Amino acid sequence: MKIILTTSMSGLGGTENATFRLGRLLKQRGHDIVLASSDGPLIQEAQALGIRWQPIDFYQGGLLGYVKGMFAYMKLLKKEKPDVIHCQMARIVPACAIAAKFASPKTKVFYHARGLDPETYPKIAKLFDKLGVYIIGNCKHEREKLIRYGFPANRITYTYNALHKADFVPEKTVKDYVQLGTLSRLDTVRAVHLMLDILKKMVDRGMPVRLNVAGIGEEMDNLKAQAKRLGIEDKITFLGGVRDLTAYFKDVDILVNTPHCIGDHGAGVGNNILEAGLYDTPVVTYDMAGISEMVVNGETGYCIPFGDEEAFIAAVDTLVRQPELREAMGKRLHAHVAALCSDDEIYRTTMAAYAM
């Protein structure tokens, strides 16, 4: 099968990593994979795997750049005649669907839903239905949400994100404190600033914890200023973008996650949750979207109602005081993630989606 994965690859965020991992999996299973995207840090790795890269950027130059991208995409489709177009972002879907109607009408067009602003869902459901697009949600919750907004149930399914390849699961570094870690893009939705407020309370109460902040984004300077203002800069290390997850999770004892996603905002299960599972690391998180499909409260970690700082602190404190529980919850999360997100399962669900 010939598949064109289409997205922006400009950064190292969840979408870029999920696209790369899906392309790698599909290529390993014998499919011809083209990546139509902007340039970025993962492109050379993708090409080294035999994935063909076609530089097309829908995100530069405003409306004119978008139209130029659509015509470049039309030219690509006339040449390649793929079986499947798999769009990883909503904005590019109309251009890809219109290009396909003119240049390769037998090609199926898919949108991989990874979360939208709440007000966008009804518009997307209606427009993508009219365009004849199929949708793959990145969790059960996302599929149900789009059906609720009117998208046909027979043209939408879900599959979790393809996983990072863990070299091995390292023993945790022995230290006289417990290392907390965040792992996300640094923006207002991922809301690491909320974790800094929580950390301040933990430190004031004498909890033996420190925080590693992994990721890049527009909130970096604000977070550093906040840490200084709160007087906890000596308890926080800003790591920047992290590629070596084995080293990261060797040091991190508990993954903490405080996304500001209420109601229909956001989607799915972040890669950070899945990656924590791969490395036997328990998670304490605010509940949102499909997170509870992986973080089963009291079993594989703790899912806390948004904004309940005291419950969040209590959950972390429980894990700080009980290293055996940390280890047990981490192993249970690993088993749960492995069952739902193994290569075989992701491949099976992706192929079933393409056959809709």
The pLDDT tens digits of the residues spanning 139-154 come to 898 999 999 999 999 9
Q: What is the pTM of this model?
A: 0.81
- Per residue in 45-85, pLDDT (tens digit) is 999 999 999 999 999 999 999 999 999 999 999 999 999 99
**Which residues touch 25 (CB under 8 Å, ≥6 apart)?**
162, 343, 346, 347, 350
* Type of residue at 165: K
Say if residues 134 and 156 touch (Cβ distance below 8 Å).
yes
Residue 264 has pLDDT above 80, yes or no: no
Q: Which two tokens stand for residue 100?
A: 């396909």
Say if residues 321 and 131 touch (Cβ distance below 8 Å).
no
Looking at domain 2-158, which CATH architecture does it have? 3-Layer(aba) Sandwich (3.40)
Confidence of residue 162 (pLDDT cuts 50, 70, 90): confident
Bigger pLDDT: 164 vs 317: 317
Spatial separation of the C-alpha atoms in residues 274 and 302, rounded to whole Å: 14
pLDDT at 262: 65
Residue 182 has pLDDT above 60, yes or no: yes
pLDDT cut 70: percent of the chain above it: 98
pLDDT at 95: 98
The full set of domain ranges for the chain reads 2-158, 178-339
DSSP string, 173-221: PP-SSEEEEEES--STTTTHHHHHHHHHHHHHTT--EEEEEE--STTHH
pLDDT at 13: 77
- How confident is the model over 7-19, as a mean pLDDT? 88
Closest residue by Cα to residue 21 from 187, 181, 160? 160
- Intrachain domains 2-158 and 178-339 with the same fold: yes
What's the CATH code, domain 178-339?
3.40.50.2000
Say if residues 285 and 303 touch (Cβ distance below 8 Å).
yes
Bigger pLDDT: 127 vs 268: 127
pLDDT at 269: 73
What is the pairing mode between strands 2-7 and 84-87?
A: parallel
Confidence of residue 345 (pLDDT cuts 50, 70, 90): very high
